Amino acid sequence: MSAETQLPQANGSCCSPGGACHDSAGSDAPAGAVTTVYQVSGMTCGHCEGAVSEEISGIEGVTSVKAVASTGQVTVVSRTPLADDAVRAAVDEAGYGLVGRA
């Protein structure tokens, strides 16, 4: 089973490091959007989820990010497939480790 699929929409939310919650999903995700699930090590709480989500959201083309600390999974919706090195750099910047695609 591939971790990368074509989906018309995705939902998600996160808490920013400042504690302000927001909806990063966008029920109007672009048609043909690419959804990829990554495995990230080191996330333990909502603050971790927010830090990872914020950094990945800064990658060009990303439209939605949902990080779940309890599973270590981060679901990213983007207009086109993302380069793994760009995702790894964003996760590293947040202070966590990208294990790979889930």
Domains in the chain: boundaries? 4-15+25-101
What fold characterizes domain 4-15+25-101?
Answer: Alpha-Beta Plaits (3.30.70)
> Which of 35, 33, 15, 13 shows the shortest CA–CA distance to 24?
13
% of the chain exceeding 90 in pLDDT: 69
Model pTM? 0.72
Q: Which residue has the higher pLDDT, 66 or 2?
A: 66
Residue pLDDT, tens place only, 69-80? 999 999 999 999
32 contact partners, CB below 8 Å, separation of at least 6 = 6, 8
Q: Indicate the burial class of 3 (C-beta count within 10 angstroms; 0-12, 13-18, 19 or more).
A: middle
Predicted confidence (pLDDT) per residue in 6-40, tens digit: 433 333 434 444 433 333 444 456 688 999 999 99
